[in-house]
Chains A and B, each alone.
Chain A
Amino acid sequence: MAELGVIVVVLSSVASVILTGLAAAWAEKHIGSAAIGAMTEKEELFSKGLVLTVIPETIVIFGLTVSLVLLFVVLPQLL
């Protein structure tokens, strides 16, 4: 049983990084193109656009945190 647990934990930690990464990328693609659209016409929007573009990165940061917690906190307890 312990082995199944290990597999599940490892796969979950992999999935949490991959999926959140994809999600953040998808969101950033749209925000980024919108930001570029706005700043081609109004240069002063450059900084606002840049900050808005990194907003969805929170998703992947949470994903990374979850994955680290799974690997270094949950996994050792199973082994």
Chain B
Amino acid sequence: MSSNERMTKITLVGTKDIMKGTIEILHSLKIIHIIDFKEQDETFEIGKSLGEVSIFSELLLSIRSILSKFDIRPDKVKTIYIKREVSRELEKEVYETENTIKMYSEKIEKISSILKEIDRIKSIGEITEIGIEKKLISSIDTLLSSKSRLEKQRDKLREEMDSIIKEKSAYLLQYEDFLSSEIEKMEAPLRFTTTKNTFIVEGWIPENKFQELKNILKKKFGDRVNLDKIKYSDEEPVPVEFKHPTPVKPFELLLELFEYPKTREIDPTFAIFITFPLFYGIMLGDIGYGLVIFFASLFMKTKFKTEGWKMILGILEYSSLYTIAFGFIDGEFFGFDIFALLGIEEIFGFKMPILNRIVDFMPIMVLSISIGVLHVLLGLTFGFINVYRSHNLKEAILKKGAWIILIFSIIFIASSVYISNIFLYFGSGLLLISLILLVVGEGFIGLIEIFGIMSNILSYVRLMAIGLSSVGIAIVINSIVTDIVFPKGGIFVLLGYSILILGHIGNILLGILASFLHALRLHYVEFFTKFYEGGGIKYKPFGI
């Protein structure tokens, strides 16, 4: 099930004269995740930036200050960039733009302060009686009367400046982008190890790209460069690049929020893809709410296009389908008992609704706990495989197998009440075995942990409880409106509808958040703790 890209750790050693060329190649291939150089000593030291990085930095500082002052962002500028190579001419243009803008702002500032003074003089009121010379008064008058002219002048200047900025902004953005990536290349040696004559790059690349990179480098530089795979320890953080089919993709987000998996670990994304929307659906379980969330997330997908939003909305979309499905089972439509209202009692011989969440809370509670048992067992099984892979069978049985046996023994003992006494003896035997294994594996502390696992399983009661509170609020809203507000008639009908709409919007928002967080929590706290260690890092190829 490990569908992720296999990474391999490499070192690239070359002579210093080909450093620039190598960086160009690595930058254009966009496959290597560079490990930054950490500690220097006498022989190995950090590399030095290449080329005119100082001039480029100056330019970037100028551009960025203009961009930030006038709030120019890529999404605001519609014009297409004109690709141009960097040259002295462009450099001049940046500084010219900077100076023009500076000149304009200074002029505008001056006019503004004169205008302020004019306003202040005006606020003094009549000045003829205070005994100033007539000539002076008349010149003050001309100054005052020039106010509108000055204002016009200022607005004109502002317009001119704005048009200059508008004209230049696409170009500035493009230039910023270009310089940033140039600087990334120039500063790459700051991430390398260098000796007197050579440079060394450490990093990760996808295993299937290794040969390709090697061939390219060999063709270009021959013997002056050497690319090797090197061993790495289990503790080292390995970059992870997920490779899941499209429907599962959004659920990668839930792992990203937690921690990236280690290489040898089972990647639980697929399991989450199945259980997360299931839990969500059980908790929210309402046809109306499900529909609202489904269409809302479809709509929002057209508005929010960043990677993170796409994933969240994708998760919500899947979850809302489950919500609708469980809405049919619970017979809820915005909190109303839909089958009772429609007069449907039976579908395909099933009494409708199959489970009424208010009345049948006991069966739902039992169902929730059973789901909990299964989920925890799944987690322990994953854990068993993980430990088996990283250590050995004995360790796996002691660490994870014991718990699996323990849970089975409890299932047998509990079911003996309904089935037969043999189950009781069999269960007790299993219990004893598991307890012995626990003590051998983890000492007497292991016995205390039993409470931990019990509370883990009981924690799944929230599948019932969160749903109950959500449907409870919905019913309260409905009954306030239908039993109290509507019967009063007249204007109250309008009020009733607004209470319904606002109340359900609030309850939906609450439901989205609560169901999401609690489903997430069941995965992070109850499920992941059984097997997941994490410790991978995000794959950030050089050049992107």
Contact = CB atoms under 8 A, between A and B. Distances in A.
A61 B361 contact: no
A47 B518 CA distance: 13
Given A50-B517, A65-B464, A72-B361, 7 more contacts: A51-B524, A54-B521, A58-B459, A61-B461, A68-B468, A72-B362, A73-B362
Size bin of chain B's contact surface = 20 to 34
Nearest to A47: B257
A51 B462 CA distance: 15
Interface residues of A, number: 15
Nearest to B462: A61
A68 to B, nearest CB: 6
Nearest to B465: A61
Contacts of A50: 517
A64 B465 CA distance: 7
A64 B521 CA distance: 18
A12 B459 CA distance: 21
A22 B361 CA distance: 24
Contacts of B150: none
B466 interface: yes
B537 to A, nearest CB: 14
B525 interface: yes
25 contacts: A47-B257, A48-B257, A51-B517, A51-B520, A51-B521, A54-B517, A54-B521, A55-B521, A55-B525, A57-B462, A57-B518, A58-B459, A61-B459, A61-B461, A61-B462, A61-B465, A61-B466, A62-B461, A64-B465, A64-B468, A65-B365, A65-B461, A65-B464, A65-B465, A72-B362
B361 A68 contact: yes
Nearest to A45: B257
B458 interface: yes
A27 B362 CA distance: 28
Nearest to B258: A48
A62 B462 CA distance: 8
Contacts of A68: 361, 468
